[in-house]
Structure 1
Amino acid sequence: MRITNMRRWWAPLIVVYLSVHLAAAQHHRKALYPSAHRIKRGTYSLIDPTFQRSVEDVNLLFEILLAGMQIQGVEHTMLIPDEELASLRSVQKLEVICNDVLPKSLSDIRRLTAELAWRRQPLSRQDFERTVLTLVYTTQTLARVSTQQQREAWTDAVIQLFRAVQKDLRPS
């Protein structure tokens, strides 16, 4: 009789535990940047585009950022003031990432930061790159907003993205 009562007590507990475990496992497989897996008409056709594949690509991205690259949300365009850098073939991938993959609305960026806060494992190389570029976009947007309320909201997004990058860079 005691064993039967114990089974009745443990069964719901086990079901709850398994449900939570399954939900957590699905959460970790959820794409941080779902638009990276969609092909859009008229763009450089890439599935899950990534810019940095070598040390030279990392150096090129650093040079592009130093040259004053702008990611503008309203027009959804990436601008590189240096014409020589902008004309490089490999920059097409970066344009696709900045124009079509990165979240541009504050609500999408907040969704991203919430998902980043829940993550326990390190970001993939692609997701780390996109998070850093989203941080660049968010910082540039913060510089352009005019009202105090918008400034506070975008500042919070910048801080959350910075914390996510910082957390990913810490040794585990």
Structure 2
Amino acid sequence: MTQWWAPLAVVYLSVYLAATQHHRRALFPSAYRIKRETYSLINPTFQRSVDDVNLLFEILLAGMQIEAGDNTMLIPDEELASLRCVEKLDVICEDVLPKRLSDIRRLTAELAGRRQRLSWQEFERTVLTLVYAAQTLAGSSSTQQREAWTDAVIQLFRALQRDLTPS
């Protein structure tokens, strides 16, 4: 005897999975289009353990710079910069993070409309985008640019704060 609800359940699960995958990809779509032709770097993530979190904190404290013009990540501490695991952070900063203000505004609009918590990959990328936006704000020369980047920094901070606040 066939179950009448089985096809309906399959359709529902397919739609649900497609919707959740689309929602995740919408925040950082370039994470799935890495230019370096290395399959292992598709949807790269730097933090996989507490040690990785501590290392990222140390890299940020060392004065890591994310530059948009030539898409480079600079770590002043040569020892930290030479670590093999920093390659993934380099890929994330160069190929995944949004660098144009319009892309960051799209991201903040999508973050503002989210009802669910960020995945750890999305949280990591949002923090790094905040770092990039703050660095860009510091280097802005015109008042209009400073206001636009200030708004982006505030929106990214609010999204992270909202994600960390218990429901």
Give the structure-1-normalised TM-score.
0.82
Q: Of residues 114, 120, 128 in structure 2, which corresponds to 1:125?
A: 120
The one-letter code of the counterpart of 1:50 is T
1:9-45 CA deviation, whole Å, 9 max, x = no partner? xxxxxxxxxxxxx9xx677455200000113136785
Cα RMSD, aligned residues only: 1.8
Task: Say yes or no: does 1:165 pair with 2:160.
Answer: yes
Per-residue deviation, 1:111: 0.3
The corresponding residue for 2:136 is 141
Contact 1:69 1:79 in 2 (8 A): yes
The corresponding residue for 1:64 is 59
Q: Could you say if the C-alpha distance between residues 46 and 160 of structure 1 is closer, same or farther in structure 2, counting changes exceeding 3 Å? A: same
The corresponding residue for 1:91 is 86
Q: Over alpha carbons, which structure has the higher Rg?
A: 1
Inter-partner Cα distance in structure 2 for 1:143 and 1:52: 26
Query: Which moves more between the two structures, 34-43 or 154-163?
Result: 34-43
Aligned length: 149
The corresponding residue for 1:101 is 96
Please list, as runs of the form range in 1=range in 2, the aligned pairs for 1:4-19 lying within 5 A after superposition: none
Inter-partner Cα distance in structure 2 for 1:149 and 1:117: 23
What is the DSSP-based 3-state SS (H/G/I as helix, E as strand, rest coil) of the residue aligned with 2:27? coil
What is the DSSP-based 3-state SS (H/G/I as helix, E as strand, rest coil) of the residue aligned with 1:71? strand
What is the DSSP-based 3-state SS (H/G/I as helix, E as strand, rest coil) of the residue aligned with 1:129? helix
Inter-partner Cα distance in structure 1 for 2:143 and 2:87: 36
Per-residue deviation, 1:73: 0.9
Task: Say yes or no: does 1:150 pair with 2:145.
Answer: yes
Q: Could you say if the C-alpha distance between residues 149 and 70 of structure 1 is closer, same or farther in structure 2, counting changes exceeding 3 Å? A: same
Give the structure-2-normalised TM-score.
0.84
What is the DSSP-based 3-state SS (H/G/I as helix, E as strand, rest coil) of the residue aligned with 2:26? coil
Query: Which moves more between the two structures, 34-43 or 110-119?
Result: 34-43
Stretches (4+) displaced over 6 A: none
Task: Say yes or no: does 1:35 pair with 2:20.
Answer: no
Contact 1:28 1:119 in 2 (8 A): no
The gaps in structure 1 that reach 5 residues or longer are 1-21
Inter-partner Cα distance in structure 2 for 1:143 and 1:42: 33
What is the DSSP-based 3-state SS (H/G/I as helix, E as strand, rest coil) of the residue aligned with 1:104? coil
Per-residue deviation, 1:68: 0.2
Inter-partner Cα distance in structure 1 for 2:61 and 2:162: 24
The gaps in structure 2 that reach 5 residues or longer are 1-15
The one-letter code of the counterpart of 1:136 is V
The corresponding residue for 2:108 is 113
Inter-partner Cα distance in structure 2 for 1:45 and 1:87: 20
